[in-house]
């Protein structure tokens, strides 16, 4: 058992810090502050990361990854969060890319991966449908073969940043025979194809993050299918378990908590500061402790996976506790902001600086326990797969 950084790790940490302090400007920090992203800034930032070779730490080193140890990845993620750098948009780099480099043809790898690595092309994810949320296998969007094209009809929903995306990766139904999971294929669709329509969903956070995507006789070349027909569920599942490192959002929550603590230590109340309130201080401490626990739960999961083992039972709780902690941080932040969390200031700070970002984060953050398989579904899975109930 050993959790100490080696001298190499410490040198690496220094290098990361130097790089970040030089490159993470206030402008870059504005790339993502809560709900909406600024795509231009994000492209700029991801290109900076790419130039340094650090945009895809989890990819195999030979195709653009970093070859880092888990400790290095851990250090990198923490330093990034600490610097206020926005997380990279995951849909290309973290979600579709692993599917492509694991299951795609050489042709597909050559065609799609470089643009993802260079942030030239933006992706979004077409999984959920109105009737297929937590029960994803119920999806209905149809792709029917017509010559060397699929003709896609149907609707996706909750599509994050579809409005900025060039491509969408979709699960579509190519067969209605057998088990529901066995008739699903994995398609890559150019958003500019005729028949693709994006409609904004008005969400409670008053930002534009989510969309519906409609497919009306959209013709998709067969060569855009990943792997075999009707095997899409297998690829998607691998993807779902592929990216475990970021799911808990530990580094982001740590940063959020740090900001909150700084705010309460400065914000004057009467003759003292907000941090003097013992009940607020206790609530913040509780969340911090929870987060300290989750950080190690995540490290235990990463360590057991990277040692070649299967993820241990501890990994099952990352999504649940991670999102609950994110929500708790955002709830405490709006509580700390007082009245000013409730004013829609249209860009101008009123009362205090934290508040507008705080309420957008709080409101958008309610979705975190719903998406990616709701926390209820996660509990069902743990009950069945881990506890054998």
Partner 1 sequence: MNFDFSEEQTLLKDSVAKFIQNEYSYEARQKNSQSDAGYSEKNWSTFAELGWLCVPFTEEQGGIGGGPVEMMIMMEEFGKGLVVEPYFSSVVLSGGLLAKVGNENQQAELITGIIDGSKKIAFAYNESQARFDLHNVATQAEKNDQGYVINGNKSLVLHGASADLLIVSVRTSGESLDRDGITLLVVPANAEGVTVKATRTLDGQRAAEVQFANVAVGSDALLGEEGKAASVIDQVADEAILALCAEAVGSMEKLYKDTVAYTKERKQFGVAISGFQALQHRMVDMFTAHEQCKSLLLRAVLSYAAGDSDVAKNIAALKYQVGVSGQAVAHEAVQIHGGMGMTDEMSVGMYLKRINMINTLFGNADYHLQRFAELSAA
Which residues within the stretch 280-299 sit at the binding site for a second copy (CB under 8 A)?
A: 282
Q: How far apart are CA 66 and CA 64, in angstroms?
A: 7
Strand partners, 219: 151
Residue in 179, 282, 308, 310 binding partner 1, rule: CB under 8 A = 282
308 binds partner 1 (CB under 8 A): no
Query: CA–CA separation, 219 vs 30, rounded Å?
Result: 37
Q: Is 270 in the site for a second copy (CB under 8 A)?
A: no
Q: Does 305 bind partner 1 (CB under 8 A)?
A: no
Distances (CA, A) of 231 to 110, 155, 181, 201, 375: 22, 20, 8, 31, 26
The residue behind tokens 């973290």 is 94
**Torsion angle (degrees, nearest 10) of CA 182, 183, 189, 195:** -160
**Of 59-67, 274-282, 289-297, 380-388, which segment contacts a second copy by CB under 8 A?**
274-282
Q: Is 247 in the site for partner 1 (CB under 8 A)?
A: no
Q: Smallest gap, in angstroms, from Cβ of residue 174 to partner 1?
A: 21
Within 10 Å of residue 104's Cβ, how many Cβ atoms?
Answer: 23
Is residue 22 flagged as an active site residue?
no
d(CA 134, CA 322): 18
- Our measurement of the distance from residue 153's CA atom to the centroid of its chain's CA atoms, rounded to an integer in Å, reads 27
Does residue 39 interact with partner 1 by CB under 8 A? no
Binding mask 72-101 vs partner 1 (x if CB under 8 A, - otherwise)? --x---------------------------
Residue 163 interacting partner from partner 1, a second copy, none (CB closer than 5 to 8 Å by kind): none
48 SS3 class: helix
370 binds partner 1 (CB under 8 A): yes
The one among 139, 340, 354, 361 contacting partner 1 by CB under 8 A = 340
Orientation angle between helical segments 70-83 and 278-306, nearest 10 degrees? 150
279 binds a second copy (CB under 8 A): yes
| Angle between helix 70-83 and helix 7-23 axes, rounded to 10 deg | 30
Provide the minimum distance between the beta carbon of 29 and partner 1 in the complex, in angstroms, as a whole number: 19
Largest Cα–Cα separation, the chain:
76
Query: Closest approach of Cβ 225 to partner 1, in Å?
Result: 27
Among partner 1, a second copy, none, what binds residue 200 when CB lies within 5 to 8 Å by partner kind? none
Question: Residue holding tokens 């993620």?
Answer: 77
The least CB distance from residue 220 to a second copy, in Å, is 43
Q: How far is the CB of 277 from a second copy (least distance, A)?
A: 9
Q: Is 153 in the site for partner 1 (CB under 8 A)?
A: no
**DSSP at 248:** T
Closest CA to 333 of 248, 387, 256: 256
Query: Which residues ranging from 210 to 229 are in contact with partner 1 (CB under 8 A)?
Result: 210
Stretch that binds partner 1, among 159-167, 171-179, 228-236, 288-296 (CB under 8 A): 288-296
Binding mask 310-339 for partner 1 (x = CB under 8 A): ---xx--x--xx---------x--xx--xx
Residues with catalytic function: 243
Binding-site ranges for a second copy (CB under 8 A) = 278-279, 282
């Amino acid at each position: 058992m050993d959790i100490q950084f080696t001298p190499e790790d410490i040198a690496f940490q220094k290098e990361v810090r130097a790089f970040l302090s030089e490159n993470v400007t206030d402008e870059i920090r504005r790339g993502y502050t809560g709900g909406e992203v600024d795509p231009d800034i994000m492209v700029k930032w991801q290109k900076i990361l790419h130039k340094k070779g650090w945009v895809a730490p989890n990819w195999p080193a030979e195709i653009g990854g970093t070859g880092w140890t888990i400790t290095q990845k851990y250090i990198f993620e923490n330093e990034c969060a600490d610097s206020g750098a926005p997380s990279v948009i995951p849909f290309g780099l973290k979600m579709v890319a692993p599917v492509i480099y694991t299951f795609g043809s050489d042709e597909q790898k050559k065609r799609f991966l470089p643009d993802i690595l260079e942030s030239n092309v933006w992706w979004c994810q077409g999984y959920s449908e109105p009737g297929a949320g937590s029960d994803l296998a119920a999806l209905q969007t149809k792709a029917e073969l017509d010559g060397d094209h699929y003709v896609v009809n149907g609707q996706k929903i909750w599509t994050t940043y579809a409005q900025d995306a060039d491509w969408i990766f979709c699960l579509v139904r190519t067969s209605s025979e057998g088990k529901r999971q066995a008739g699903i294929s994995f398609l890559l669709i150019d958003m500019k194809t005729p028949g693709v329509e994006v409609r904004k969903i008005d969400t409670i956070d008053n930002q534009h993050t989510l969309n519906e995507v409609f497919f009306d006789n959209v013709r998709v070349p067969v060569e855009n299918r990943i792997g075999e027909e009707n095997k899409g569920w297998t690829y998607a599942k691998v993807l779902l378990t592929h990216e475990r490192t970021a799911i808990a959002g530990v580094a982001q929550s740590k940063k959020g908590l740090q900001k909150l603590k700084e705010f309460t230590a400065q914000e004057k109340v009467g003759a003292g500061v907000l941090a003097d309130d013992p009940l607020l201080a206790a609530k913040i401490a509780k969340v911090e402790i929870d987060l300290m626990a989750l950080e190690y739960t995540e490290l235990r999961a990463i360590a057991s996976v990277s040692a070649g083992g299967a993820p241990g039972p501890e990994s099952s709780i990352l999504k649940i506790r991670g999102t609950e902690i994110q929500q708790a941080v955002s709830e405490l932040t709006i509580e700390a902001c007082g009245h000013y969390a409730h004013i829609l200031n249209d860009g101008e700070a009123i009362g205090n600086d934290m508040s507008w970002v705080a309420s957008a984060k709080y409101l958008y953050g309610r979705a975190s326990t719903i998406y990616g398989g709701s926390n209820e579904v996660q509990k069902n899975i743990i009950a069945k797969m881990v506890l054998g109930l």
